[in-house]
Amino acid sequence: MIPLLASLGIVLTGGIPSAQAIEIIHPEKFTPDEVRVIQKIGDAFAVELDALKPLPLRIEKIKSTDPKSSDYTRFDGRKQRVTISISRAVTDINVFASTVCHELGHVLGGSGPVTADLPDAQAMREGIPTYTNIEGQADYFAAMKCIPRLADVLPPVEPHSLCQGAVDEARCSLVMTIGKIAINAMVDRRNQQARKDGIRGQLPRELDYGDRSNYRLPLTTYSGYSDDACRLQTWKAAALCDVDSWVDFSPTDEDQGACVDGAGMRPRCWYLRGSTPLTSPNGPRS
Ligand SMILES: [Zn+2]
């Protein structure tokens, strides 16, 4: 005889429930912690995701296709769907959360002055809205709007020394800690790939918030990936920005929901307020 609760358990585990606002493709490929993060994102961004209709957001796990950037957002032009694809190589729950948040930032990170063209020719030909935000903005969104809203499904963190005196020390510490974990996970992946490829010489080392970006100050906002130290500065800025994480960025006002001066503003290594984003002429210093 099967007790009621046990049979209920079988029902629940037979099909892991997807978040309402996010469709999980092959939920059995995700761990319970990952499903919790996705469901929390679905709850925390229910209003914003609802506004995406007719573009229901989907999330899937994929084999890594690119060792440098193993996770990406793609748009299915024909089905008018946004799909977030997460590499199976992502195993740490903090890295998973920050990766999903970054990809979500391409969709919900505000647009207007911080929007780049979607490199999906088919969707553009068919006039499908693309909702693509630039890399730096996706990071700023992940750190400022997304990770803080997931606090209760992520592992607890220690108070961070850079957050002493912050208005919300717990939120600041969470963002500082996860930002460092996320950026250094990319450094690790690149190092592993370099070793596999037999590349000799100095491999990138673990970065911290004191490390300076190797990028010139941009003449206009840069739409591509800046270097790791610059990306880490974006996390730091988001951690130190006191604007409420529940105030969304705006499609028409780049200042809404953001810090426009002080330590919390988007860092100058990729962002120039009021400028048009470009795949920039600003390369690394040589
Ligand atoms: Zn991205």
Query: Which residues form the domain of 125?
Result: 17-196+204-264
Per-residue pLDDT of the chain (286 residues; tens, 9 = 90+): 433 433 333 333 333 444 457 899 999 999 999 999 999 999 999 988 887 766 678 899 888 655 445 556 666 655 666 788 888 888 899 999 999 999 888 888 875 445 544 444 454 455 555 557 888 999 999 999 999 999 999 999 999 999 999 999 999 999 999 999 999 998 988 888 888 888 878 788 899 999 988 877 888 888 888 899 999 999 999 999 999 999 999 877 889 999 999 999 999 999 998 887 776 545 555 4
Q: 125: which 2 tokens? A: 């030909």
Q: How many angstroms does the Cα of residue 260 sit away from the middle of ligand 1?
A: 22
CB under 5 Å of ion ligand 1: residues: 135, 138
152 domain residue, yes or no = yes
**In angstroms, what is the span from residue 226 Cα to ligand 1's centroid?**
11
Distance of CA 27 from the midpoint of ligand 1 (Å) = 23
> 103 CA to middle of ligand 1, Å?
6
Cα of 10 vs centre of ligand 1, distance in Å, is 38
Ligand 1 midpoint to CA 162 (Å): 26
Residue 106 CA, ligand 1 centroid: distance in Å: 7
Residue 4, domain member (yes or no) = no
pLDDT of the residue at 218: 81
If you measure from the C-alpha of residue 168 to the centroid of ligand 1, how many angstroms do you get, rounded to a whole number? Answer: 27
**Quick one: pLDDT at residue 73?**
63
- pLDDT value at residue 42: 93
Q: Write the DSSP assignment of 145-163 as a string of letters.
A: IIGGGGGGGS---PPPGGG
Q: What pLDDT was estimated at residue 148?
A: 98
Q: Is 50 a domain residue?
A: yes
Q: Is 9 contained in some domain?
A: no
Q: 102 C-alpha to center of ligand 1: Å?
A: 6
Determine the pLDDT at residue 20.
59
β 81-87/72-76 pair status:
antiparallel
Q: Which amino acid is at 107?
A: V
Can you give the pLDDT at residue 8? 34
Q: How far apart are CA 182 and CA 4, in angstroms?
A: 42
Q: What is the largest CA-CA distance in the chain?
A: 72
Residue 278: inside a domain, yes or no? Answer: no
Q: Per the domain annotation, does 168 fall within a domain?
A: yes
What span, in angstroms and rounded, lies between the C-alpha atoms of 44 and 57? 14
In a domain? residue 282: no
Residue 139 CA to ligand 1 centre (angstroms): 8
**In sequence order, what are the beta bridge partners of 72?**
85
CA distances from 30 to 60, 94, 286 (A): 9, 14, 42
**Residue 170 Cα to ligand 1 middle (Å):** 26
Q: What pLDDT shows up at residue 130? A: 53
Tell me the two tokens of residue 73. Answer: 């957002």
Nearest-angstrom CA–CA distance, 248 and 244: 9
Q: Does residue 153 sit within a domain?
A: yes
Cα 270 to ligand 1 centroid, rounded to whole Å? 14
Q: For residue 192, how far is its CA from the centre of ligand 1 (angstroms)? A: 21
Q: How far is the first Cα of the chain from the last one, in angstroms, to the nearest whole number?
A: 72
CA of 96 to the centre of ligand 1 (A): 14
Compute the distance between CA of residue 269 and CA of residue 213 in angstroms, rounded to an integer: 7
- Residue with tokens 């426009």, as numbered in its chain: 260
Number of domains in the chain: 1
How far apart are the CA of 138 and the centre of ligand 1, in A? Answer: 6
Q: What is the pLDDT of residue 103?
A: 86
Distance 117 CA to ligand 1 centre (A): 13
Kindly report the pTM of this predicted structure: 0.84
Residue 13 CA to ligand 1 centre (angstroms) = 33
**What's the gap in Å between 69 CA and the centre of ligand 1?**
9
Residue type, 224: G
Ligand 1 centre and the CA of 164: distance in Å?
A: 30
The CA distance from 125 to 206, in Å, is 42
